[in-house]
Structure 1
């Protein structure tokens, strides 16, 4: 099975890198020539309309490579283009000026020009190695079938004597295996080449990050204000009202204790029941702010305890060498909780799973289910709230949910881990 998977992965990668590498040179060169002509034609006024149209084609084609890098190599290439100003309709000089002032426009042209030979080189490397290796593997059967002929078969594998004839097939097998192994790396190299030119520059990335942090800070302030209002409302309508009722019941019991002990005893019993309900509501309120099991047992114990409360089986795998800071830990816990709540409410799934690990300076969380799929960040399913919660910590959420399922949510939270902490509860859990 491992050999089949290795061969399948290698052939798939070689086919994909050949598709991108061999088909892209003519397309890139054609788009490059069109781009240059459209910009030059601005002198005659035609470029005011033609240049933005060609730029749209270039960016659409670049987006195809961005999606290929994301889906085939797990390499994210953000779109670095500036936002179109208001009123910059097609043919308006403002749109042309916006286009030529955007550094990403010129980086796209550089990608078209440099990407044609680079893509061609990477695209032919895999198939050539594979064909060359298979040629050597098939040397022995062909030579046996052509017994009596000269050893002139070795056009690419020189064969001069019997020893060469016997050694060529093993060498060909090694080259074939090397080609299959190199296939995913060639695809990865092409994706990183595209990211170097199609992604934002360091300055643009920093500017985008500042804008994003400014936006998320505003969202966090609004969320905190809403959370405070919710806590105040819950306290006022819940625990506070019960505590007021408790005080009134005790006051009346105090007046009746000498005149009507039985009535006073009933009021005291009612007050004791009210105190229990108030305490339960306070515990529920505190659990919504920071679950005690999370503070005691960390993410591992907290997520496992959460999984036990759900009506479907949930597999939890946690591989952490320490604990993140409390705010990050809480954000990760509630993000997983919201994701699993969506699974129960909307996915129609029979099982779900949670995988959590730490590498590359970030907490990586994957939540998946075998449901019907179709989850989006804009469908009102609560995932937008999860994304906002993660963005407050400079994290990210990726949704992979094709129609028919399965759904896989990939979350990342930049953080560092402290040394593992132990407690009596975590030691026994």
Structure 2
């Protein structure tokens, strides 16, 4: 695979108004993606675009629209809508391409562009590389004649359509009546649709992070700051707290005592419930190399498997599609429920947790700890040059660490996809040993880099 110039593990992302997150790059994405997805037949071609609540969305969106319209693609803009909602609407409206403008859980200063194919799935690495190659071509290549320019419309019915689809994912036999739910929407894309969905399903809803001003997305709120929803749960005496991130494709839950429940516990909770109901496909769950060993052991005890992939929800989804799995995700709260969505969906995952909660009739604190997490430690080591992982001393330190863990734990050493960082993670039953091996490998990496 070629060297990536613009696209990272999840679309194009960067600081707004600095390369690559400028109006010019957005224009080039529109031109290139429009040309690639425009076929030779006579029909009109359609692109749908959603965004979160960042100020820079007002700059990125028109640039994308201009690029797409100038190569003859019709465009429908949705305004603020969760990433999974854009993926859904791409498929539902039979669009050739879906685009989400968001930098997910990052603060307002960043922004990003994610692309979805007509099937609602994120584009493959190969297609992204093709778009990259076309982005560097002349801006006036393959432009549409003036009578064939794309037409652009803002449509307002995307949020209500997404709400209806989300409600369908909650079991008909159940209701949220009588439940007090705190929901933190991170001042992001889910700020309207998530509280409305929960309210319409019968809950008493206590929303926080629902006053976006363009600059406060993910600011001390949302799934990366679970203390905010935890505080709301205690303040309003709620039965459960739900925290979404800026584009609402991740979720973190907290119980009625305000204790945080991460993505691994959520996957265990939904996975074991679906297995019991005969709904779990593939006889297991797909997660990344970062998921806790405790999750793997718990699934194994029930005769289920945990399949691991590289970090990144696109790799989780690829494995799910290959192996016929319908639950996958990441520890960070990126949960993919393939029966309901083609990408991570925080609201859909929360609804499945709520279904288990209502059915069990037990407090969330009793359901939250599906397994005992194994001690896990992650250290990020910054380096300036070279390839530390190819250094002989680093290789030796890693081999020693593997031998010390000796089957009773895992060592994972990998470079960051976005920064000059080496991530050193170990987990095992012996916490002191885990600390020691992480420190030894981290020291070796520091010395090499």
The TM tier, using the shorter chain, reads: under 0.3
The structure where strand makes up a greater share of residues is: 2
The structure where helix makes up a greater share of residues is: 1
TM-score (norm 2): 0.22
Which of structures 1 and 2 has the bigger CA Rg? 1
